Amino acid sequence: MPANPRIPNPQEGPLQEFAYDLRELGEGKASVAWIAGHEETTVSRAALYAALSGERLPKRGTVSTLLRWWAGDPTLEESGVDERYLDPIWVWIDRLPWDHEKRSFAEAWRTRYQRLARDVLAERELTPPAERVAIAVPVEQQRFIEELKGLIERTGLKDDLWLLMGSFSYAVERYLEGTTIPTEETCWRLSHNLAQFIPGADLLNVRNRLVRSAEVARAARVRDRRLAREGRVGRET
């Protein structure tokens, strides 16, 4: 944990309670730093720690990453599972033996998170939206754009984006313009399209690079919007 971390207070609401219990679940198990450094992890260390703060609703992929090591057991996961129609975020649960207690335990935690997310999102709909502000493209998002551009160039199809991405190319153009940032699930699709055209590319490595870079870029936009609302950074004209 970071130095002097703030321990969530379970009495302060569902988010705090979930984060507190999640921290308790991880006691004596794989550390956040170790999980973040694992080759299969696509979530940043900062995001993993943030999920344990209780300050905001963590993403599915972030919670799933922690639960895989704390509620599940990767050593029990079985190969040969047909994953084509399974949610890639939670697919590790389907790899656990169907009659093993770890599987039911992991499913219970997934259900708890899904209920929390449903309640938090429903509450947001009743909350007045924050003031809309215009910001410049953050440096972190510019790095993501360069990362994506570099991968596209390695395919040799940068001038034929349609051949590389098909109808998805319109969304990719918006990512390159800095208009939007792809979600974690979308990064999976981007990685698959890119890796198959990059000689010797490792799909997992490509995916990890994009997911982490997009995550940092997204956090930077949230930061800059907050600063703009507080009048601490200049707004676009």
pLDDT(72) > 80 = yes
pLDDT(231) > 70 = yes
Share of the chain above pLDDT 70, in %: 92
pLDDT tens readout for residues 88-126: 899 999 999 988 999 999 999 999 999 999 888 877 666
CA distance 89 to 43: 11
- Please give the structure tokens belonging to residue 178: 């800095």
pLDDT tens readout for residues 159-188: 888 888 888 888 999 999 999 999 877 888
- Which residues lie below 8 Å from residue 23, measured CB to CB, with a gap of 6+? 7, 8, 52
Q: Minimal CA–CA distance to 80: which of 91, 67, 66, 90?
A: 91
Domain residue ranges in the chain: 10-125, 139-229
CA distance 212 to 36: 11
Stretch 131-146: mean pLDDT, rounded? Answer: 90
pLDDT at 130: 65
- pTM, entire model: 0.60
pLDDT at 185: 76
pLDDT tier at 81, thresholds 50, 70, 90 = confident
Task: For the beta carbon of residue 9, count every other beta carbon within 10 angstroms.
Answer: 12
CB 181 within 8 A of CB 214: yes
